[in-house]
Chain A
Amino acid sequence: MPLEIAICTAAATLRRAGGDEFHGYEIAKTLGDASDARLLTAYGTLYRALGRLEKMGLLQSRWEDPLIPARENRPGRRLYTLTALGEAAAADHRQAAEAASPRRARRKLAPA
């Protein structure tokens, strides 16, 4: 589930930057920026992954107050929040990546 893990990590990054809630396009853009990808995650792939994460209890979602999109003349956003479980999953992944990276670096530096 690399995309699901990437979404949790990106959501944790957004939270640290002060954004507790995010919408689908926002997370697609954050994922694209993080991986330097030229193309954003496909619609089907992204929304299926968000739904799966919600079912797993790693994300929660709600529709924003309908008055806001009406005032701003745009479609309503489905807002997602990282749950405590999602935050823990992102932290676990971060720790595992940090633990793996010095080992990988040491392997690279080891004489042949």
Chain B
Amino acid sequence: MNPLLFSAIALVKGWTRLYTIGMDPVSRNRRRAEVESDLWEFHEDARRHRASPEGIAIHMFIRLVAGIPCDLLWRFEDERDRATISRRSTWMTAGAIGAAFGIAALWAFFTFSSLATKVNAVFERRDGRGAQAN
């Protein structure tokens, strides 16, 4: 499997595991299984349509990052409905929010570093042409 796609799948599964830690087992197992099924269906469908592994990985990553606020809200609502908000779950939620910021920062770093590489390549090509002309 393409390393980028492998990383995206691992990241989505890892994040789902993280924000469901310490939850009621029924809600936790259901959410984990649903996301795992979605990942599989999406991957298979995209593969059938001959989508590039990089494209699938980026799409999965965007779906992950865009859904993080709802993931955290869902956890909070589930615990509120079950009246199980405890000190431990508050710490878990805080940890999950921290991890969400970490993922967003990583995404921003990789996006901007790849953009910077592209911009540098354009300038280097232009400088090379300039040097040849001289």
Contacts and interface: CB of A to CB of B under 8 A. Distances in A.
A46 interface: yes
Contacts of B41: 23, 25-26, 74, 77
B74 interface: yes
Interface in B72-97: 72-74, 77
A42 B38 contact: no
Given A39-B62, A40-B63, A43-B12, A48 B74 contact: yes
Centre residue among A45, A46, A63, A74 by max chain B CB count within 10 A: A45
Centre residue among B12, B36, B41 by max chain A CB count within 10 A: B41
For chain A, which range describes its interface: under 10, 10 to 19, 20 to 34, or 35 or more residues? Answer: 20 to 34
Contact of B63 (A26, A42, A74, A77): A42
23 contacts: A23-B38, A25-B41, A39-B59, A39-B63, A39-B66, A40-B63, A42-B63, A42-B66, A42-B67, A43-B63, A43-B67, A44-B67, A44-B68, A44-B69, A45-B67, A46-B67, A47-B74, A74-B44, A75-B37, A75-B40, A76-B37, A78-B30, A78-B37
